[in-house]
Amino acid sequence: MTIHGIAALSLSAVTVSPQSLVFKKTSFLGPRKSLFTDKRPRDNDDDEDEYVVARQIKKQKTVDIVNKRAQKEVHCLPTIQGRHKDLKSVSAQTVSQLLAGKYADLISSYQIIDCRYPYEYEGGHIEGAENLHNQALITDLVTGLQHHDKTQRNILIFHCEFSSERGPKLLRHLRNLDRKLNSDRYPSLFYPEVYLLDGGYKAFYEQHQSQCNPRNYVPMLHQNYSKQLRHFRVKSKSWTAGDKQNMRSRRHQIDASPLKMCLW
């Protein structure tokens, strides 16, 4: 073989076709990509589980939005920014207007719940207010199924001397108990519209004495009632303990009550 033949043979051996170039480029990038990633393909089961979880989260968010909107639509009295952010607060002026009949076209009935001790209540209270000063009495209010006609708007307004401790505490007790008894129908409640009087009886008395009966104000810490104060503070602890023990039996009774059956 001549020198020219050998050179031609060598040149043909190293000639690279376009197809081989593509193959080599692809084969080079393939392993290179695998070196710099730790991801692995997901199987079908993982994808399906993630889809189900996402659907459940989306559904729960929708339910939460609907419930929040329903709760907002329930309240018809003008509210203010009170000290307790989780409670709907109303001013003394609004309660005064309520007593004067301003909201009669919106509200079927209302109850003002005075959570002060009896000696405070007897010394002076808002006209028509009812003295319910412990958890047992509030529990009776809920389990008694008063105002069970859900086609009517019946509201409750809680307060104590300043609406800082006793009133909010008993309001929350009513709200939590109401939700437990209606856990399978929430946000449907026995008492869906409940308010806290901002500033309590003190604020109302200072602005609207003419709507108090008698027109007087006895502070909780009045020196003439120190014995009564100790008595009711001790009783309030025993009432709370006894109310917790009786809650299950009360709930069983209301679930089996014919009155509750007729509500739905």
Active site residues: 160
- Half-sphere exposure for 164 (CA within 13 Å, toward CB): 6
> In angstroms, rounded to a whole number, what is the distance separating the alpha carbons of residues 181 and 255?
8
Nearest to 196 by CA among 84, 108, 74: 84
Please state, in angstroms and as integers, the Cα–Cα distance from residue 214 to each residue in 22, 54, 95, 99, following that order.
100, 60, 17, 16
Residues near 240 by beta carbon (within 8 Å), at least 6 away in sequence: 134, 135
